[in-house]
Amino acid sequence: MDRPDSATSSVSTSDDYVDLTPEYAREILDALHEEDTTRVAELVGELHFADIADLLGWAGSWERQQLVDVIRPDFDPELLTELDDELREEVIAQLGTAAVAEAISELDSDDVVEVIEDLEEAEQRELLGALSEIERARVQEALSYPEYTAGRIMQRELVAIPDYWSLGQTIDFLRSAKNLPEDFYDIIVVDPRYRPVGMVPLSRAIRTNRPVLVRDVMETEDMRTVLVTEEQENVAHLFRQRDLISAPVVDDNGRLVGVITVDDVVDVIDEEYEEDMMRMAGVGEEDDLSSDILDTTRSRFTWLLVNLGTAIGASMVIGLFQHTIESLVALAVLMPIVASMGGNAGTQTLTVAVRAIATRELSSTNAWRVVRKEVAVCTLNGLAFAVLSGLVSWLWFDNMRLGAVIGVAMVINLIMAGAAGAIIPLALERAGVDPAVSSSVFLTTITDVVGFFAFLGLAAAFLM
Amino acid sequence: MDRPDSATSSVSTSDDYVDLTPEYAREILDALHEEDTTRVAELVGELHFADIADLLGWAGSWERQQLVDVIRPDFDPELLTELDDELREEVIAQLGTAAVAEAISELDSDDVVEVIEDLEEAEQRELLGALSEIERARVQEALSYPEYTAGRIMQRELVAIPDYWSLGQTIDFLRSAKNLPEDFYDIIVVDPRYRPVGMVPLSRAIRTNRPVLVRDVMETEDMRTVLVTEEQENVAHLFRQRDLISAPVVDDNGRLVGVITVDDVVDVIDEEYEEDMMRMAGVGEEDDLSSDILDTTRSRFTWLLVNLGTAIGASMVIGLFQHTIESLVALAVLMPIVASMGGNAGTQTLTVAVRAIATRELSSTNAWRVVRKEVAVCTLNGLAFAVLSGLVSWLWFDNMRLGAVIGVAMVINLIMAGAAGAIIPLALERAGVDPAVSSSVFLTTITDVVGFFAFLGLAAAFLM
């Protein structure tokens, strides 16, 4: 975009930062390797802190060390909130706790919590020691709430006023007050016991004439308070469902203790999705690109071990039919088809169900309707693929009865796949377990066992 | 929470709505079946429109029809924005276009677009016809932008002022202006050609004294403009990365045409995740609980057909070794283990890679480092599971060489799985294809083929 050439030309246009493209990153890293520090500092200086965080993630460890030294003089502590846990620890260690402590004292309390909650205790103490007394108390209080609850993601900096003030009083208060949050979107109205009774969105506050009383313009219907111990997942659902921008957080006595804003919730949504996706694939949540090889290997080992167990189980089913296979080896050739189709059809159902439970489109109210539908869908596809796989097998091995057997086994396995794909996550949810976490291993165990058993069992009965 | 009993007791407390629990839903549906319409209306009346939308999704089609009649008298058009496409069509059809047209004229333009963009053309025309001329023009303009771009999710209602105004002038303007958006968070500052040059967050505007000039307090560094044709996925990334609450949208000439707010972006984040998750499982995006059985069957058929093709491919590999299996049927029993472990290890890598590409933690800058790491992780796990599966096979079939063969095949397949799991999504991304969409079918084809070929091939070479 070109710069405005009008009366306002002294004002810089919208975006003063350069976008971090892979090419731009390459340029920086190349300059690093050529030890052209001036150029590196110049190029990095053009980036927004969030892009610098991405760059640190893309860099190798030697490069990252060099880059941290480059950004050290103008270090923006908000960068720390954008890093993965492991990278954050590395960067903090390199910068030194003293420097970091000074830097994070500029942050809002929720950001400080995010930065320090996963650090080792000694480091945490050192950083906390460098904060002002008020801020330290705020952060320590936040850390006293369980992880993944509203208390961890809320900020303590907020604007609360009594409902008998006029808008004029409110605005004068805002103009003179110190220690307000940097950005806020709603003014929280509290009663004398400091319990929220309404909110005034800033867009309404600014449009209202000074003499009007707060109690006459405040929003009460669309305000939702959040309990400080509420799980962050439920908070995210609430924000999403009600299109909230901010919500007051209260303690057990209904007293205002903080505020959650939508930007924190966006992070939670990201985390929750990532968790679902990773759990379905059997990957730990802490498994990201910056974890080291041994940690990653160890965290994935467990899931693979479970899978080895279920695979051996499926093999034992095959083992029951060794003689059948010996007399018709085509069965060994074809049997993975039935199991694989069942696994895939079941995964389709499972994914739709896990997702629908997460968005609350699927609840116990419509559970049976959904199970019936999924079974119907899988039955129809089962019939279609019975015909297709039956024909292929008939032609391939010139054996019509073999074709019939694989067809019937296919229908049986796909019906089971549809039922299991819908019922497993519903049952896990009811048992209070995250439906994403172990659904797929249960599912493929069922589709493998049923697939092999149906196909080989039918073959033993009708082809021998 | 109990009501405040102090001076403010005339004010209702925070939340006037009842939460929709499955039990509450059951009560409503039971009352429906007992034809106790008064009770139904009473219970439904306690719910927020977003919860009513959930309830409509949970209900069966007869129940839904009854419920729509119950909410018809106080119909809140925002409810339509919370429904799935298919449900929305159904509800609109039942309410009648005339009633809906009147209702949606209250909505902001982005919400109107959301409601009507997926309707049939005739219905769309009818609803558009009922809007005021200005609003119709706005909506039609929005519909002229491609789906999934900034133009579709932005709203045209916005607050824009010149930078030479004082804050006092600005506030007076806001107090007297008509047609402002219901909620807004930033005031956009434009030059005489209507190009955004800065923004004033409301929290800053309200704290600034009246004589101060807008140009002296406006934010320029942290403002990001979005091109109207930008893909919504990139808009979401920007909001997330920069913690934005709103961003001005400009046309090719840099002129302000709309504004995107964070609540629209939250919806986009949801959509994009859902897309990734669904695509990895081979489920169409339009496949949700409310789609009918035949549509769902058809949309899943294609993916299963692809899977049938690849399963037959894997079977053909087994077919090459029929004689080997005939002389040692234990091979048929054990071979699914190698394939299954490869598929699972590969899926772990694939999921981490797809996710990291989506969050831009993985780019061409660090691609090779990630591939090397994933191969290393899979090699280590390959070695561990070589030992385990080798021991199990040796003991099971009392055949040490069989154990050695499965062990070596396991290492080979897991190395391939790690490499393929990382390289496939990177290659798809580079080719401009969504890495989620067909990664897993490529991956399991490779792990099946390599798994069967390595195991049976080694067996043919060393055990016969």
Tell which wins on pLDDT, B179 or B28: B28
What confidence score (pLDDT) does residue A67 get?
95
**Does B308 sit within 8 Å of A17, measured CB to CB?**
no
What is the C-alpha separation between A444 and A457, in angstroms, rounded? 19
Strand order in the sheet with A256-261: A226-227, A246-250, A256-261
CA B224 – CA B349 distance, rounded (Å) = 34
CB A414 within 8 A of CB A441: no
Chain A contact for B376 (CB, 8 A cutoff): yes
Residues in chain B: 464
CB contact under 8 A, B22 and A364: yes
Q: Rounded to the nearest 10 degrees, what angle do helices A262-280 and B262-280 cross at? A: 0
Question: Are the Cβ atoms of B266 and A270 closer than 8 angstroms?
Answer: no
Write out chain B residues lying below 8 Å of A305, CB-based: 388
Among candidate residues B408, B412, B405, B406, the one with its CA nearest the CA of residue B446: B412
List b or e across B259-294, with b for residues whose CB sees 16 or more CB atoms inside 10 angstroms: bbbbbbbbbbbbebbbbbbbbbbbbbeebbbbbeee
Which residues in chain A have their CB less than 8 angstroms from residue B239's CB?
266
Residue type at position A205: A
Of A221, A243, A294, Cβ closest to residue B263: A243
Of B60, B326, B377, the CB nearest to A297: B377
* Contact call for A58 and B348, based on CB within 8 A: no
A chain contacts of residue B278, beta-carbon cutoff 8 Å? 351-352, 355
Q: Measured between alpha carbons, how far is A227 from A231 in angstroms, rounded to an integer?
A: 9
In a structure prediction context, what are the per-residue pLDDT tens digits for chain A, which is 464 residues long?
A: 333 333 333 333 345 688 899 999 999 999 999 999 999 999 999 999 999 999 999 999 899 999 999 999 989 999 999 998 889 999 999 998 888 988 888 888 888 998 988 888 888 888 888 888 888 888 898 899 999 999 999 988 899 999 999 999 999 999 998 878 888 999 999 999 999 999 999 999 999 999 999 999 999 887 889 999 999 999 999 998 888 999 999 999 999 999 999 988 998 998 888 888 888 888 877 777 778 899 899 989 999 999 999 999 999 999 999 999 999 999 999 999 999 999 999 999 999 999 899 888 899 999 999 999 999 999 999 999 999 999 999 999 999 999 999 999 999 999 999 999 999 999 999 998 888 877 888 899 999 999 999 999 999 999 98
* 3 state SS for A15-33: CCCCCCCHHHHHHHHHHHH
Q: Which of B304, B338, B443 to mutate to test the interface with A (most CBs of A within 10 A)?
A: B304
Q: In terms of DSSP H, where are the helices of B34-60?
A: 37-45, 49-58
For B185-191, what is the mean pLDDT? 96
What contacts B290, CB < 8 A, 6 or more positions away? B57, B84, B86, B87
Tell me which amino acid residue A323 is: H
DSSP A109-133: HHHHHHHHTTS-HHHHHHHHHTS-H
Per-residue pLDDT at B380 exceeds 80: yes
Touching check for A77 and chain B: CB below 8 Å? no
Query: In Å, how far are A83, A233, A368 from A272, measured between CA atoms?
Result: 17, 7, 26
β-pair type (A256-261, A246-250): antiparallel
**Averaged pLDDT for residues B451-463:** 96
pLDDT value for A15: 55
H/E run at residue B450: helix B435-462
Contact (CB<8Å) B11/A163: yes
**Nearest CB neighbour to B283, from listed A51, A352, A362:** A352
pLDDT at A165: 97
Interface mutation vs chain A, best among B14, B85, B324, most A CBs within 10 Å:
B14
Q: In whole angstroms, give the CA distance from residue B273 to residue A269.
A: 10
Per-residue pLDDT at A205 = 94
**Pairwise CB contact (< 8 Å): A15 & B184:** no
How far apart (Å, rounded) are the C-alpha atoms in residues B47 and A126?
49
| Axis crossing angle, helix A61-71 with helix A22-33, rounded to the nearest 10 | 90
**Structure token digits, residue A134:** 């008020």
Q: Please check the confidence at residue B9 and state whether its pLDDT lies above 70.
A: no
Task: Give me the sign of the Cα torsion angle A189, A192, A193, A197.
Answer: negative
| Contact check, Cβ <8 Å, B241/A51 | yes
Give the span between the Cα atoms of A418 and A416, in whole angstroms. Answer: 5
User: pLDDT (tens digit, 9 = 90+) per residue, A40-94?
Assistant: 999 999 999 999 999 999 999 899 999 999 999 989 999 999 998 889 999 999 9
Spatial CA neighbour of B241 closest among B360, B366, B364: B360
The CA distances from residue A119 to A115, A140, A291, B180, in Å, are: 8, 14, 15, 46
Find the CB nearest B315 among A208, A280, A337: A337
Which residues, numbered 272 to 311 in chain B, qualify as contacts with chain A under a Cβ-Cβ cut-off of 8 Å?
Answer: 273-274, 276-278, 280-283, 287-289, 293-294, 296-297, 300-301, 303-305, 307-308, 311
In order of their start, the domains of chain A are: 22-146 (1.25.60.10), 160-280 (3.10.580.10), 293-462 (1.10.357.20)
- In A, minimum Cα distance to B15 occurs at A224
The SS3 of residue A387 is helix
With a CB cutoff of 8 Å and minimum separation 6, the contacts of B178 are: none
With a cut of 60, say whether residue B5 has pLDDT above it. Answer: no
**How confident is the model over A370-421, as pLDDT tens digits?**
999 999 999 999 999 999 999 999 999 999 999 999 999 999 999 999 999 9
Torsion angle of the four alpha carbons A439, A445, A448, A453, in this order, in degrees rounded to the nearest 10: -130
Whether the per-residue pLDDT at B7 is higher than 80: the answer is no
Chain B CB contacts of A370 under 8 Å are 289
Name which residue leads in pLDDT, B143 or A285. B143
CB contact under 8 A, A185 and B59: no
B144 — pLDDT class (breaks 50, 70, 90)? very high
H helices of A154-292, where?
167-176, 202-205, 214-217, 232-242, 262-280
How far apart are the C-alpha atoms of B90 and B88, rounded to whole Å? 5
Among B82, B220, B281, select the one facing A16 at the smallest CB separation.
B220
* Structural contact between residues A102 and A130, judged by C-beta atoms closer than 8 angstroms: yes
CA distance A5 to chain B (A): 9
Give yes or no for residue B433 having a pLDDT over 90. no
Tell me, yes or no, if A45 comes closer than 8 A to chain B by beta carbon. no
Of B352, B375, B341, B374, which Cα lies nearest the Cα of B447? B341
Of the candidates B279, B411, B441, B428, which has an alpha carbon nearest to the alpha carbon of residue B367?
B428
Q: What is the DSSP annotation of B78-135? A: HHHHTS-HHHHHHHHHHH-HHHHHHHHTTS-HHHHHHHHTTS-HHHHHHHHHTS-HHH
Give residue B300's Cα distance to chain centre: 19
A326 touches chain B (CB under 8 A): yes
Compute the radius of gyration of chain A from its Cα atoms.
30
What's the DSSP call for residue A166?
Answer: B
Average pLDDT over residues B105-113: 86
User: Within 13 Å, how many C-alpha atoms sit on residue B51's CB side?
Assistant: 17
Give the CA dihedral B389, B392, B398, B402, nearest 10 degrees.
Answer: -10
Taking CA–CA distances from A325, the nearest residue in chain B reads B329
Please list the helix, strand and coil fractions of chain A in percent, rounded to the nearest 5, in that order: 65, 5, 30
Closest residue of chain A to B158, computed from CA coordinates = A203
Coarse DSSP helix, strand, coil percentages of chain B, rounded to the nearest 5 percent: 65, 5, 30
Q: Which helix (H) or strand (E) holds B337?
A: helix B330-358
Residues in chain A closer than 8 A to B336 (CB atoms): 311, 314-315, 318, 336, 339, 448, 452
Query: What pLDDT is stored for residue B439 in this prediction?
Result: 83
- Residue B329 has a pLDDT of 95
Q: Which long-range contacts (CB under 8 A, 24 or more apart) does B424-428 make?
A: B424/B350, B425/B350, B425/B353, B425/B354, B425/B357, B426/B353, B426/B357, B426/B362, B426/B364, B426/B367, B426/B371
Number of other CB atoms surrounding residue B90 within 10 Å = 18
Cα separations in angstroms, B441 against A143, B109, B303: 44, 41, 9
Distance, in Å, from the CA atom of A63 to the CA atom of B313, rounded to the nearest integer, reads: 45
Q: Does the beta-carbon distance from B6 to A192 stay under 8 Å?
A: yes
Closest chain A residue to the Cα of B210, Cα to Cα: A175
**Under an 8 A CB cutoff, do A185 and B202 touch?**
yes
Model confidence at B285, pLDDT cuts 50, 70, 90, reads confident
Contact between chains at B365 and A174 (C-beta distance less than 8 A): no
- Give the confidence band of B131 by pLDDT, cuts at 50, 70, 90: confident
CA distance A157 to A146: 20
A432 Cβ neighbours under 8 A, 6+ residues apart? none
| A201 reaches B (C-beta below 8 A) | yes
What residue of A is the nearest CA neighbor of B267?
A240
How far is B77 from B54, CA to CA, in rounded Å?
Answer: 15
Disruptive mutation site among A74, A308, A369, A373 for chain B (greatest number of B CBs within 10 Å): A308
Are A277 and B355 an interchain contact pair (Cβ–Cβ within 8 Å)? yes
Listed range (A429-438, B299-308, B396-405) with the worst mean pLDDT: A429-438
B371: Cβ contacts below 8 Å, ≥ 6 apart: B419, B422, B423, B426
* A450: contact with B, CB 8 A cutoff: no
CA distance B203 to chain A (A): 6
